[in-house]
A and B are shown apart, each in its own frame.
Chain A
Amino acid sequence: MFIDARTLPNDTVVDSDICIIGGGAAGITLAKEFTGKSYRVCILESGGLELDSTTQSLADGKNVGLPYFALTRASTRYLGGNTNRWGSWCTPFDDMDFEYRPWVPYSGWPFTKRELVPYYERAQAICKLRSLDYYDPTRVVEDIGNPEVQVLPLLGNKIVTKMWQFHLPAMSFGQAYKSEIERANNIDTYLHATVVDIEANNTVQAVRRVRVASLSGNKFWVASRIFILAMGGIENPRLLLASNKIQSAGLGNQNDLVGRFFMEHPHLYGSGKILFTNPEHYPVLYTTESQGRYSAQAGLCPSRELQEQEKILNYIGCLTPSSDVWAKTSMSDEFSEHISAIVNDFGYLANRVVRKLSNKPNYVRPRRMVLDIITKSEQAPNPDSRITLSRERDRLGVNRAQLNWRLTSLDKRTILRMQQAIGMELGRADLGRLKIELSEDDSWPVPLSEGGPFAGGWHQMGTTRMHIDPKQGVVDQNCRIHGISNLYIAGSSVFPTGGFANPTLTLLALTIRLADHLNAKYFPT
């Protein structure tokens, strides 16, 4: 049932067994897992069924670090959350993303990828994707069955091909699962219900109830056996920090970890150009064109060996026909035109075509294929990259979030080293030449908002990270906040590391795992 929280009388107390705070991808997935059970569930969603600017303004905050999207746009406050505007990019994390890597400080999850595999399979179904084996590029190419669609013949011990799957048009969870949740007898969804405080008991070992407010001015309480925060990588830590009546540092923050380790996937829309010289291997599978045609797209990643050897993070580069208007017929700068000229004198075309054509009177130099590289890179966990509270408060009296996004030299070096490795592999495989369009120092290019290539990926991770040791993590391996018996977190804020992969599929897998854990622990059949 859907309930408009604006109609509830002041100080109403809603009783529940499980209270899910947030109606986005994680919240809706939890609700689906709990549907039809014998216990009562309530979802508290700040927004309604559609975007509303007044509600959205509650997400406004301050950005004091690297250029980032306005916080009013970083999260989406209506049923479905950020799935109302995502692109359906889905791929699981790599095995190595879960491992401790000595060159990546704070790396390592409390379990391996193997633990999540059965949950990834279930997450695939929720996202209406194909099976997990469709992340094997060989399998994808076989299925497509078009000889023009190939995996690039690169050396697997350096550069590997990884796949995304898509369900297009991208699915809003709010629209796709609204009816199912509305019909569920044991689930009440309160819309226009913003949690403004979490009230713990005096010893802060359990949550008693949460205070909920609507923009109409009324306030009520929700008491529950279990509470799950599912509001995303900015709002989860914000609410914990703001719930500071008993523990002044905020709930779960006894070791000053809440809000720290904010991670994104630094995106560069044009970190380099590829002059592709081998038409037999044009990388259509690696371009955005492939999404619509095949519901799949490939990218270029470092192998495990390369990551270990070069001590770099994970990364993916995908390709797009160059946005540079000159690249259709020429390169954008004179020096690049000269490179383009000489490469074809010795490469594929020289050996197969030029010899035949160059003696003919009407010979025209073959057209080049120029591609831009779109980089999406892992960010190293950095405790100084963080969410804190601003002194400003929103209309409901909650301190706004303040984001200080920071990157390290390892983040930049990863991208530079990968560009070089891809360039070397393209040359070795006689596919073309790569131009790095990135400075060699630690600075980052002009942000997208100012016409440059640099931006985040709309992926907010790590701010309530997972670790078995409460001195190193906010939640334990079951996503329960250390020290608080009945408060859990679902979503990408629990990620200890972020890989290169878009977080949705992995956060859904973790969420399903959490649902199974709660069912087994609290409601065994």
Chain B
Amino acid sequence: MKRRNLLVLFSLSAIIPGLTSSWLYRGGSASSDKEIEGKLLKLFSEMKSPKVIGAEYLRSFPGQVDSKVLLARICSSCEGGARSLTQMDARALREWIHERQRKDFEEGRIIKLQGWILSATEVQLCALATLHS
């Protein structure tokens, strides 16, 4: 990609949330998206609570009502990209998420929902559950 186009893109992403990460993520196929999404959602022991929390989150961040956008955000710090998540077993994936949660708090990526101080990753996972059919 030409440098000039990249700069334009980053400028636009400041106005249109999620644009940059979703464009960069576009390398994945629809089937691998579904695979990653499925693996992530299986980490929840039940789906009712994540859907409620996710709905609350999406009301505050309507620009993220898009599974691709959410996946891009969740996977953005993964070395090797989202594809490497498909190769993790459930235990490794849970530990990766757990570490990401901790980093969220450490680096200030928090979301407040009804007074609760939460990790961006955990609420975005919930939002994914909300959008999951």
Contacts and interface: CB of A to CB of B under 8 A. Distances in A.
A430 B106 CA distance: 11
Interface in B104-119: 104-106, 108, 110, 112-119
Interface stretch (A101-109, A284-292, A334-342, A494-502): A334-342
A335 B105 CA distance: 21
Given A335-B114, A337-B49, A434-B117, A427 B105 contact: yes
Contacts of A354: 45
Contacts of B79: none
Interface string A54-69: 0000000000000000
Interface string A408-442: 00000000000110011111101001111100000
B22 to A, nearest CB: 24
Where chain A touches its partner, the secondary structure class is helix
Contacts of B119: 427
A242 B45 CA distance: 69
A346 B126 CA distance: 12
Contacts of B110: 420, 423-424, 427
B53 interface: yes
A348 to B, nearest CB: 9
B47 to A, nearest CB: 10
Nearest to A363: B45
Query: DSSP majority for the B interface?
Result: helix
B49 A346 contact: no
Interface in B47-106: 48-50, 52-53, 56, 91, 94-95, 97-98, 101-102, 104-106
Interface residues of B, number: 32
Residue of A338, A365, A423, A435 ringed by the most chain B CB atoms within 10 A? A338
Contacts of B33: none
B117 A436 contact: yes
A334 B104 CA distance: 25
A345 B44 contact: yes
B81 to A, nearest CB: 21
B37 interface: no
A347 B112 CA distance: 18
Contacts of A355: 91
A430 B122 CA distance: 13
Interface size class of A (residues with CB under 8 A): 20 to 34
A131 interface: no
A351 B118 CA distance: 19
Contacts of A204: none
A428 B115 CA distance: 18
Contacts of B106: 424, 428
Given A339-B118, A433-B118, 13 more contacts: A336-B114, A339-B49, A339-B116, A345-B45, A346-B98, A346-B101, A347-B98, A351-B94, A351-B95, A423-B110, A427-B110, A436-B115, A437-B115
Interface of A: 272, 334-339, 341-343, 345-347, 350-351, 354-355, 358, 365, 419-420, 423-428, 430, 433-437
Interface of B: 43-46, 48-50, 52-53, 56, 91, 94-95, 97-98, 101-102, 104-106, 108, 110, 112-119, 122, 126
